Structure 1
Amino acid sequence: MKKALLLCLGLLLLASGLRAAPANVNFASERGMSFQLIFDGRPLTRGAARQVHIDRLTPGYHWAEFVIPTGYGRPYNFRTRVFLDPGLETSFVLITRSGYAPVLRKVAEVALYPGYGPGRGGNGYGHGNHGGYQNAPGGYDSDYGYPNDGGNYGNPNDGYGGQYDGGNNLRVMSPQDADMLVQTVKRNSFDSNRLSIAKQALDQTYIQSDDLRRLLDTFDFEASKVELAKYAYARVADRQNFYRIYDTFDFQTSVQEVQRAVGGGRN
């Protein structure tokens, strides 16, 4: 009987020891650019902030969405996943450069508890001080447990709505350039010419979902819209808003064809 009790007690202690320690995270902008942060679908900033600290998070993957003001009215939405190791405080910097898509870069990991150390690609700079960060309550349960992507997040090839093209730094089409492209495509009489121009324009740039929708509206035939939508998906900057283009189709079968081609419309 005593052996059974000791065994149960040992198993309980082992289970408690295996429970992953919580994680902390810091977000800051590179040049003091203000942003709003939505973390795991929950808005954390009232108005704009330049630095945000969140503690007591479940280790694993989380969604981070940044709403970045622009000089031409509407804000820019950048959404990506971040991986947080247990027992570590991870720091990220939001890099925004004129003419390029935003990048979220991991810059530091520091241990919060004895026995934990930087890992999974962290550089271990030891920037553990987060004084002055806007505090936000943690404790959200996002227990994904996927393997780590690496240090830089937001690669469009990962299928999760990133916007950084493997280091090529392709720029995002400005509203003015998008307007010019739409007008250029409209001036052509045939969908085949329109499609060729649109593909050429999107070959070396990203486009916002709303601008892509306007571009699709210039086509006469459903098949042309479907072809361009499938082609352009890899170059949509705010891929979480890709669903907005579906209103341009006349048939649900077209929507379903595009969804199948882009992997079910994952964001």
Structure 2
Amino acid sequence: MKKLLLLCFGLFLLAAARVQAAPATVTFTSERGVPFTLRFDGRPLTRGGVRQVYIDRLVAGTHTAEFLIPTANGRAISYRTRVFLDPGLETSFVLLTRPGRAPELRKVAAVPLRGVYGPATPGGYYGNAPGGYEPGGYDPGGPGYGNGGYHNGGQPGGYGYTRQMAPQDVDALRAAVRRQAFDNEKLPLLQQALSETTIQADDLVVLMKELSFESSRLDLAKFGAARVADRQNLYRLNEGFTFSATAREFQQYLAQPQR
């Protein structure tokens, strides 16, 4: 009995250690495209205004986020809050900046991280600047932060991508897909194009509808879900399916931890 109790206790400690070691990821997006600057846990992460910031490989738990938001009269509002990040999840927040109301940070989604991940580090980030994607990252002088772009701390399975697919890129990809006759030619082309970029949820729905068969659309949705930039809109991928049963299968896939 004593050995059994020791074994159970050891397994419990092992499970707890694994949960604690699992990294967390967070995305902050401006609701109406209002640019902001961000200090995260006291570290400046942005240079100039951005519309979206993505930080990966964070230690799970409570963190501090401080936003500096410009106003019409030339002044800036400072808004500081705390966020809790669950281990093994990518959490998405939307920054609400509505006229006549105080800023608010609202949690909109938390989905399992996909791929193999290493130990949590202070994290890398990318941002979308008012003029488009901002590849030149800011190095605040700490380990794990990007210097000249996204940096994943040398760990496998990082969640940063070099750029977001622009509308003209989506149109060009659709044209290329339409030149293929069958789904077994279209799907690999789409997956290859998405492998090194992020994409808006609505644009992924458009690409899903270029496929003829429901099973192919599901395969593309599963492949592309981890590459959707506006994570709070993952639910919109359901619009790319013809049958509700496929949408339910996709939601079940999202709910399962992916390794």
**TM tier, smaller:** 0.3 to 0.5
In our comparison, the structure showing a higher alpha carbon Rg is: 1
Give me the TM-score of the superposition, normalised by structure 1. Answer: 0.47
Give me the TM-score of the superposition, normalised by structure 2. Answer: 0.48
